[in-house]
Chains A and B, each alone.
Chain A
Amino acid sequence: MALAEPIQDIAPDTSAPAAVETIALRKTYGSLVAIDHLDLRVPTGTIYGLIGPNGAGKTTTFSVLSTLLTPTSGAASIMGHDPVEAPTEVRRVLGYMPDFFGVYDDVKVHEYLDFFAAAYRLPAASRRAIVSDLLELVDLSHKADSFVDSLSRGMKQRLGLARALVHDPQVLILDEPASGLDPRARVELRELMLELQRMGKTVLISSHILSELEEVCTYIGILEAGRLLVQGRPSEISGTGEGGRNFRVRLADPAKATEAVAVLVQQRGVSLPNEAESGVTFLLSGDDEAAAQVLSSLVAAGVAVTEFREMTTGLEELFMKVTKGVVQ
């Protein structure tokens, strides 16, 4: 099995302190290397998507981070605590949702959460309010008195998320939370994650499907056969993989497309501006600030823009390219 060399080594963002960090993390089972020299860096307050095919080592990584598994070598830290040396401190600041988890029979939704609140040593007096807040957050208030095994898969997933949140952790680790969910439930999950980010939490999430994550994640790491091939902001990753970021501009008056193209040609970093259906498309090599600059130039030139969005197909292609041929 030939391991692909990391094609891109993007320097991790050092501006925000890391909520989760691993240094040369390695885990082997006999001769099987589950994760190898993993240097993960999840800045505080971000949503970090760990993407990789099944068997890439996502669950192993999360098991180490969530104090279930001892690594073979290397170190990890969650909010400055070592999961091997100080598991209790890590458990205090970490909410963990495994890829598969069961629920208990004959337990009602609010009792289920109350049980975990008690397991996190929360005083009985404050548990009722916490449980009701959490149920509201995950939109299960109307199911508080239902038995947990009567919930649908998406509801169970949301209940699992609420469970991981009972002790108000600063960091959340969600292993494949979207797997097996219908499209509607996925959208709800995505919104929940953004809500959690707004609450100031750091979310580390895994998936084997890139498209589930690329819209919501502030950072992405691509894991393959136990090695981190690339990590960084989606725009940075996709921007470096090929000609640039793909933007689409919808115009109030499609007749003004030619005028828009004329404006775009003059912008720095813009290439291949093209008239498209009800607007224009172009490629941009540059960060979000450059994109904002382009938009304000269009507006300043009197072009009425109704939509200005990035098409993220580039990342998908990158993912395919990066992970090609390593597994199978």
Chain B
Amino acid sequence: MIINPVLGREIKERMRSRRAMLMVIAFLGLLAVILYLTYRGGIMMLSDRFSPMAGNTASLGRLMFEWLLFFLVMFVAFMAPGVAAGSIVGERERRTLHPLQVTLLSPRSIVLGKLGASIAFVTLLVLATAPLFAVPLVLGGVSPWEVMRGFIVILALELALASLATFMSAVAKRIQFAIVAAYGLAVLLLVGTVVLLGAEVLWQTQRHPRREPKPLAIYLNPVAAIADAVTDPAAPDFLPSPLSPLGNYLRDRQMMADEERRFGGMAEVDMVQGGGQAVIVEAGGDVIRHQVEAFPRPVPVPPVAFDDAQMEILDAGGGFEIANHNRRRELPAIRLWMIHVVFLLLISSLSLWLAARRLRSPVVKMMKVRHKT
């Protein structure tokens, strides 16, 4: 396979300078400092709450892991747009784009080469942090799978932000505009989606005050995806990290979703009060016991729950039974972070397609960039 010429040249150009090496060192140094501070902070919090116990190293590992991830997300959000925003408009400003466009390189090769070069360096920095994750892994509370899922989401986020910035770079006449617009899109993705989430929750609670709000906007937020990717639904309460609020929320939500999946849907069961054990009896005679505690919120039961012909609730020794003849087949869990990764990949593809379209020539009108002397 022949390497994309644009990518090859750019990597040579970037990695040749001493600056690249210094940045890797500085970045890893900074993250190591953050790791250490988190460690000290965790120890302090632990000694405040409990007497120091061996089991708490897991909490400590978890804390360091989540802080590390959070800083990586912030770093990617900070770096990826800035690095990629200059890529194409930079060539336009320096008058190197036209010679490139009249070669046999397709606009797609130019865009992909530029994108590859932009993300290569940031990806190198992200992957270079892998050894730092050994510390939380050794302390416990974190599984290698969680580390991997975290990296998948971070790299997808980096790809999406770099692609958006590459698109802006293909469209812009001036590098300053491309940079501002690229960061604007990054803020929209990271913060704008949170605002949207709040608005959606508000709207849903107003419409259905009794129902638990289920905002869809949460699928759009990268931090939520990270929190989800590394959240174990069955995990105990951990020390506070920037991911905790979303993580706790998602944990609850995931539990509900798991139940819904098992029972086929969501319904409000008004007649069930107090607590006890719900026993689901299937047509085939399968009995699934479902522990229901108090009912401040609705119990997930099938959408057909109120059809007497298909369901009966039996009082059975302080509990009750739900017999469901229409139980759905259990589907594999599609987690929020997976949907978000797909969303990020869609954003990337669309941005890159539009960027390549912008570089097609001949064009009806040429972009005039003032010649800098």
Chain A residues proximal to chain B, CB less than 8 Å: 29, 63-64, 66-70, 83-84, 87-88, 91-92, 94, 96-98, 100-107, 111, 115-116, 118-121, 124, 160, 163-164, 167
Contacts of A124 in B (CB 8 A): 2
Please state if A98 and B8 are interface contacts (CB–CB under 8 Å): no
Complex: chain B residue closest to A117, CB-CB? B5
Please state if B363 and A68 are interface contacts (CB–CB under 8 Å): yes
> What are the 9 tightest A-B residue pairs by CB atom distance, in nearest-first order?
A102-B94, A118-B5, A119-B103, A102-B95, A70-B362, A106-B13, A115-B9, A102-B96, A119-B105
Please state if A70 and B99 are interface contacts (CB–CB under 8 Å): no
Q: Is B101 an interface residue (CB 8 A)?
A: yes
Contacts of A102 in B (CB 8 A): 91, 94-96
Please state if B362 and A96 are interface contacts (CB–CB under 8 Å): no
Q: How far is the CB of A89 from chain B (nearest CB, A)?
A: 10
Please state if A121 and B104 are interface contacts (CB–CB under 8 Å): yes
Q: Mark the stretch among B51-59, B323-331, B364-372 that contacts chain A.
A: B364-372
Please state if B98 and A104 are interface contacts (CB–CB under 8 Å): no
Q: Is B102 an interface residue (CB 8 A)?
A: yes
Supplied contacts A94-B102, A106-B13, A116-B103, 9 more A-B pairs, CB within 8 Å:
A66-B102, A101-B99, A102-B91, A106-B14, A111-B12, A115-B8, A119-B100, A121-B104, A167-B104
Complex: chain B residue closest to A147, CB-CB? B16
Please state if B96 and A67 are interface contacts (CB–CB under 8 Å): no
Residue interface mask B86-97, A partner, CB < 8 A = 1: 000001001110
CA distance A120 to B6 in the complex (A): 12
Q: Is B273 an interface residue (CB 8 A)?
A: no
Please state if B361 and A87 are interface contacts (CB–CB under 8 Å): yes
Please state if A119 and B95 are interface contacts (CB–CB under 8 Å): no
Contacts of A120 in B (CB 8 A): 103-104
Contacts of A106 in B (CB 8 A): 12-14, 16-17
Q: How far is the CB of B20 from chain A (nearest CB, A)?
A: 11
Most chain A beta-carbon neighbours within 10 Å: one of B8, B99, B101, B104:
B99
Residue interface mask B72-113, A partner, CB < 8 A = 1: 000000000000000000010011101111111100000000
Q: How far is the CB of A43 from chain B (nearest CB, A)?
A: 23
Show 15 A/B contacts (Cβ-Cβ < 8 Å), sorted by A: A68-B366, A70-B364, A87-B361, A88-B104, A102-B94, A102-B95, A102-B96, A105-B13, A106-B13, A106-B14, A107-B9, A118-B2, A119-B5, A119-B100, A120-B103
- Other-chain contact of A119, B13, B104, B371 (Cβ < 8 Å): B104
Please state if B103 and A84 are interface contacts (CB–CB under 8 Å): no
Contacts of A119 in B (CB 8 A): 5-6, 100, 103-105
Q: Give the number of A-B contacts (CB < 8 Å).
A: 87
- Other-chain contact of B98, A29, A98, A115, A116 (Cβ < 8 Å): A98
Please state if B104 and A91 are interface contacts (CB–CB under 8 Å): yes
Residue interface mask B222-249, A partner, CB < 8 A = 1: 0000000000000000000000000000
Please state if B361 and A68 are interface contacts (CB–CB under 8 Å): yes
Contacts of B98 in A (CB 8 A): 68, 96, 98, 101
Most chain B beta-carbon neighbours within 10 Å: one of A84, A116, A119, A167:
A119
If A106-B17, A111-B9, A111-B12 touch, whether A83 touches B100 (CB-CB below 8 Å) is: no
Q: How far is the CB of B14 from chain A (nearest CB, A)?
A: 8
Contacts of A84 in B (CB 8 A): 362
Q: How far is the CB of B43 from chain A (nearest CB, A)?
A: 46
Interface positions of B from 321 to 373, Cβ below 8 Å from A:
361-366, 371
Most chain A beta-carbon neighbours within 10 Å: one of B12, B96, B103:
B103
CA distance A29 to B367 in the complex (A): 12
Contacts of A103 in B (CB 8 A): 96
Q: How far is the CB of B91 from chain A (nearest CB, A)?
A: 8
Most chain B beta-carbon neighbours within 10 Å: one of A88, A92, A101, A164:
A101
Please state if B99 and A98 are interface contacts (CB–CB under 8 Å): yes
Please state if A69 and B366 are interface contacts (CB–CB under 8 Å): yes
